[in-house]
Chain A
């Protein structure tokens, strides 16, 4: 093995403590502040209008509250002429037009861009389904990794995923960022991304265990992490690049998606280095664990389908 081996694991106690602290803190935020669920989950009405001139946010809120709509929130949406209005209302075929009429009564010129209504039962169902999806994803990942690698790797991978999801949730709770369907999609994509990272590292750990003559487990993990470091950083970097592109051009509709993923990429990169390796050490990973019971000798070509093999 050439090059310098970075001693990642010397900070593993600090990293472990930091992860646990962040995790607990995130749970606290999730419980105390709660998630700011978007319309998809809470139900209610949402109307987006575009003014010709700058939108009078205060006036809009006052007008609608006086007209009897409940829980009215008005916010600028991307530009100062674009306004998003949310409130609780019964479903009404003319709702969009009624609101526009109310707002144009003062002589303002505006255009109705979007008008959405989500029934509360739908939102509730979605929340249940989303939670179920997360659980299911975690369970399947555990089984797959345990099967493909070893049970301890499965635990490591799932721990890293829970770590990532909870911390992203905590950040969303702390800053009260809106959690809508696209954010849920992002959260699930983060699971995919972080998993990808963790598997690449695990794969390397397994390979190092099998091929190196080194016996010290901590050192073996350090070798594997050092070998994959440049790949880990480059992939995170390219993914971050496209997410920045989405943040710049994606507008408000994709902002939550890009934010969640960006946080996810940072947290996921960190967790693939520290969380899963830490768990592997904590569960006393040994070289014996790495010798597949059914196979005498690890054979890399065996895993490849024929079309992938080189002639």
Chain B
């Protein structure tokens, strides 16, 4: 009685081996490092550059980790450093050497031995609360995007109808809802032509005949599905732009992902300068190029703008030549007067439009407008309740107004962009692309590196103390069986860590709390079994049959009780975000692994010690 066949022992040993292999990478501290990535695709890291970088670091008195060279990884290079404190000096030294064509980022690289990496074992990544860094949640203003899209549609429809020589009188966006566009026609014949044309070329609209302003008219409306598609597009494009911008910031292992329908989650581990990060990430900025208005131009065709860096105004035409969207590259250099300038390269279509617009206007002045969308949240108290109104404003200011010397094409430069930092920022924004829709920050968290380290210490200490207390109690209470339970408990923690590492979970402070809690609750399965065995012994059963009956009868209860808890963990994961999800994952893994360790491992240990022989008395 109470024997396990060999295969069960082997299975258990295999599971434990699996747990060990996939959890030990956590014991290797990562090395501080700097990562160098080319900013444009044409550049590659050759040996000469590697030597230059190492020489520069040596010259700046920065210690590279012993025996370490430049490691190449895809297109980027990694240099391990001897000490955490040398990361920042190393970054600035290398940036100094390499200039703006390269992105230098701080990084932590794992020191996991190769044989473990080959097995796919790698350390769990640490959440921001443990590693320090910045967390942003941004909301995309999809409504604003929809409005812009509809305004574009209105101009496109006008242009097309004109081109088709269809007699329309009015094309208006509905002032109340962004989904509807109204059209008024000269007569019924024009209406019929217009309808036929729009049905063929503007399939996204549902078209209804209805009078508009006492004219025969059409009502063009977008379906819910269309609106959802457009909004989805805005969010996706913003996601891409933000990812580009984050890459430009030079952060190692950033997270940029969509959350819900219209929010983006951005996590930048290790970043401390939030102000700079926010400025670059959240900026809804763009450029517009327009010709200066002719003297005496009416306000229907011209607009007056203020200068960005001077208390002056100038009048520009309403027609926009191009916007920043057609910019394919932008870099900073210095002009003859040693002032920073931004060199701009346009797409071929953009270049053609620029050429067309400037060809006939040599000698006139062209203005560069900096367009920025800002969000202001106002709180007012109405009837004792705080009411929030979000106000969005768009500011357009002139950066430069310069005389067109010759016809421009796809590459040109703009001057008067402020100091070198502002020029760099503008170039970055132009390179990374503009945001499709304005965004605003709805959540922001910064955790300092010392607090992160403190949280790790807190978590580990709680785990050790919790383990010690529980193990001490189990040994006193159940003696030999307490020892079995202790082994099970340790294997349990090993397995939780291994499973979390494999699925690539992020370890957070609440996650550690979940593991600690699991320690307390996981012994429950063992306790259930042990009290059953004791009960059987009290009933007068012999030790061997008491063990057998104890395990068998407890199993049903254990499974039932744990399945319900598993359900709760699943719900927790479904409705929670971030830290709560981390907690749910640890809880779920803890339950699953504790079932395995309590039922199989404790049983195996019991069988090893007590099985196959006559036992007079159990140490329980």
Residues of A within 8 A of B (CB): 2-3, 48, 88, 90-91, 93-94, 96-97, 111-122, 126, 129-130, 132-133, 136-137, 140-141, 144-145, 148, 181-182, 184-185, 188-189, 191-193, 195-196, 199-200, 203-204, 227-228, 230-231, 234-235, 237-246, 248-251, 253-254, 257-258, 261, 300-301, 303-304, 307-308, 310-311
A196 touches B524 (CB 8 A): yes
B442 contact set on A, CB distance < 8 A: 118-119, 121-122
CA distance A298 to B477 in the complex (A): 33
Query: Does any Cβ of A come within 8 Å of B405's Cβ?
Result: no
B462 contact set on A, CB distance < 8 A: 242, 245-246, 248-250, 254
B521 touches A235 (CB 8 A): yes
A303 contact set on B, CB distance < 8 A: 556, 559
Q: Min CB distance, B460 to chain A, in Å?
A: 9
Q: Mark B382-404, 1 if CB is under 8 A from A, else 0.
A: 00001010000000000000000
Q: Min CB distance, B600 to chain A, in Å?
A: 8
Q: Min CB distance, A129 to chain B, in Å?
A: 5
Closest to B518 in A: A242
B564 contact set on A, CB distance < 8 A: 141, 144-145, 192, 195-196, 199
Classify the secondary structure of B's interface with A. Answer: helix
A242 touches B567 (CB 8 A): no
Known contacts A195-B565, A238-B520, A311-B3, A133 near B571 by CB under 8 Å: yes
- Residue total for B at the interface (Cβ-Cβ under 8 A): 90
Closest to B461 in A: A249
CA distance A204 to B3 in the complex (A): 28
Closest to A78 in B: B454
Q: Which 7 A-B pairs have the closest CB atoms?
A: A119-B442, A242-B466, A242-B520, A133-B575, A239-B520, A245-B466, A245-B465
Q: Min CB distance, A107 to chain B, in Å?
A: 22
Known contacts A91-B444, A96-B274, A182 near B513 by CB under 8 Å: yes
Of the listed stretches B167-175, B324-332, B527-535, chain A binds B527-535
A selection of 9 A-B contacts at a CB cut-off of 8 Å is: A91-B441, A93-B274, A97-B275, A114-B451, A117-B445, A119-B139, A129-B575, A200-B561, A240-B520
Query: Contact partner of A144 among B450, B473, B563, B574, CB < 8 A?
Result: B563
Query: Does any Cβ of A come within 8 Å of B510's Cβ?
Result: yes
| B494-521 interface (Cβ within 8 A of A) | 509-510, 513-514, 516-517, 519-521
Query: Does any Cβ of A come within 8 Å of B548's Cβ?
Result: yes
Query: Does any Cβ of A come within 8 Å of B190's Cβ?
Result: no
A188 touches B561 (CB 8 A): no
Query: Does any Cβ of A come within 8 Å of B300's Cβ?
Result: no
Query: Does any Cβ of A come within 8 Å of B43's Cβ?
Result: no
B563 contact set on A, CB distance < 8 A: 144
Query: Does any Cβ of A come within 8 Å of B4's Cβ?
Result: yes
Known: A185-B583, A251-B455. 10 other contacts (CB 8 A): A119-B139, A126-B577, A144-B567, A188-B572, A199-B560, A235-B527, A242-B466, A243-B517, A245-B516, A257-B513
